[in-house]
């Protein structure tokens, strides 16, 4: 069964021996399959040498699993090999209940990096942020480990303490103590904000669509004069493709949600919404940010392209690929998580690396606005082996965002992006919404202008 998921110095010492040299011409004449068999024979030779001569005894199973994962992760950041235990953990995650800390992570050049903490989990309460590096678990370095190996160290019995060592830009490494919990991510969180409904969708597990429908129906029943809805998908790392289609279907009255295209460009699979809009045309604003990825981007892109919603916040993560989980021997030998297609929004956009830009760009805090102006934010484009973006397209670089909280706004207590989303609903559109004063010029702008004019630049430390 297949399930679609959205989501030192080395020294080489040559001992005495005989080596055979095969000329490039001879190599070119070897049939491709024969070359593959020779390389597999080479793998066996290397494994045998490690077994016989490595300084300590080795675990063959661990070595081969690491080799399989290394082969797949060399393709792109989202492919990989799942051991039987990791495959079981992944199934628990998509079902929406498991033991751990509540962090969505990936690997970047052998370092574990946080994509986003999950709402209401130990990681979220401890202040772990998207873009943080996890360098050690309980004092043991996780540098060089696969994501599956690192995650295995972080998961365990509920109630146990876990110490994470965090590396974050502009700060010294620091330790965070967390207590493991049974992670039961809320599929949806709903409330009223004045005349408008608000639904927070933290992920796309198997319960996402049903939870969204239930939340909206509950809001409508209790508030028959509800005038519109904010769908909050900030820091939503994605999940299952079928749930992305289901969530978009809630708002769309038929038509295309997303298409996916594999190796053969002629092989296009389209996913369509069914007739019927649960909100009967009430206006919708979607909140996104740099932590909105994969399935969240499919929904945001579909609603934006189909003119069903306007987007407020920051440019999304930019993960435009689909992974297929392929169990091996029914899962007894684990599974492959393999990138098999790229997805495209209804207008034919690929957001790979570039992300989805909001209709109204709003920084959540003044500090965040400063960060966006001074550096490129962590995204899919940060991975060296990420799939290429569409030809000629690049992700927006460091810049001053269009809006940020004014000085009088308490951005530690208030939610400025949500406030602006509600303002858009109140005004009827982004175009009709009174704009905030543009933030003052930031260092990145001043530096660029000075460089363009040939003036010396003094960086502030």
Active site residues: 294, 305, 319
CB contact at 8 A, 80 and 337? yes
Cβ burial 234-258 (10 Å sphere, 16+ → b, else e): bbbbbbbbbbbbbbbbbbbeebbbb
Give the Cα separation of 436 and 433 in Å (integer).
9
Task: Give SS3 for 395.
Answer: coil
Give the Cα separation of 231 and 416 in Å (integer).
15
Q: Which residues pair with 197 in a beta bridge?
A: 192, 229
Helix %, strand %, coil % of the chain (to 5)? 30, 25, 45
Burial of 390 (0-12, 13-18, 19+ CB in 10 A): middle
**Cβ partners under 8 Å of residue 38, min gap 6:** 30
Task: Give SS3 for 132.
Answer: coil
Other C-beta atoms closer than 10 Å to the C-beta of 209 total 22
Burial of 194 (0-12, 13-18, 19+ CB in 10 A): exposed
């Amino acid at each position: 069964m297949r399930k679609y998921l959205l989501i030192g110095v080395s020294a080489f010492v040559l001992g005495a021996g005989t080596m055979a040299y095969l000329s490039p011409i001879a190599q070119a004449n070897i049939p491709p399959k024969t070359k593959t068999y020779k390389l597999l024979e080479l793998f066996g030779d290397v494994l045998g040498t490690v077994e016989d001569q490595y300084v300590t005894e080795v675990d063959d199973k661990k070595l081969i699993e690491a080799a399989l994962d290394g082969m797949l992760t060399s393709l792109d950041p989202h492919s990989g090999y799942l051991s039987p235990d990791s495959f079981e953990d992944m199934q628990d995650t998509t079902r929406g209940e498991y033991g751990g800390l509540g962090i969505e992570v990936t690997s970047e050049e052998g370092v574990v990096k946080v994509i986003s903490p999950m709402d209401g989990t130990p990681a979220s309460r401890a202040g772990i942020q998207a873009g943080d590096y996890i360098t050690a678990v309980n004092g043991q370095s996780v540098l060089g480990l696969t994501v599956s190996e690192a995650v295995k160290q972080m998961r365990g019995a509920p109630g146990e303490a876990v110490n994470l060592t965090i590396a974050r830009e502009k700060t010294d490494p620091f330790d965070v103590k967390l207590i493991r919990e049974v992670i039961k991510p809320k599929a949806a969180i709903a409330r009223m904000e004045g005349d408008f409904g608000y639904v927070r969708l933290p992920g796309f597990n198997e319960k996402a669509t049903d939870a969204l429908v239930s939340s909206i129906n509950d809001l409508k029943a209790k508030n028959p004069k509800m005038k519109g809805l904010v769908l909050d998908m900030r820091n939503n790392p994605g999940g299952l493709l079928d749930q992305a289609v289901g969530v978009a279907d809630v708002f769309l009255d038929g038509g295309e949600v997303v298409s996916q295209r594999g190796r053969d460009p002629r092989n296009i699979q389209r996913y369509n919404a069914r007739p019927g809009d649960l909100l009967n045309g009430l206006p919708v604003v979607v909140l996104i940010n740099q932590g909105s990825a994969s399935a969240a981007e499919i929904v945001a892109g579909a609603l934006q392209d189909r003119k069903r919603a306007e987007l407020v916040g920051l440019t999304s993560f930019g993960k435009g690929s689909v992974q297929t989980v392929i169990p091996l021997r029914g899962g007894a030998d684990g599974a492959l998580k393999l990138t098999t297609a790229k997805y495209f929004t209804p207008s034919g956009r690929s957001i790979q690396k570039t992300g989805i830009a909001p209709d109204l760009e709003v920084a959540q805090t003044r500090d965040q606005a400063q960060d966006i102006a001074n550096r490129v934010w962590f995204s899919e484009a940060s991975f060296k082996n990420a799939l290429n973006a569409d030809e000629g397209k690049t992700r927006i670089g460091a810049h001053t965002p269009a809006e940020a909280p004014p000085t009088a706004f308490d951005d530690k207590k208030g939610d400025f992006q949500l406030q602006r989303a509600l303002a858009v609903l109140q005004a009827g559109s982004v175009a009709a919404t009174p704009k905030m004063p543009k933030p003052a010029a930031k260092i990145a702008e001043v530096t660029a202008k000075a460089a363009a004019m040939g003036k010396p630049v003094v960086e502030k430390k």
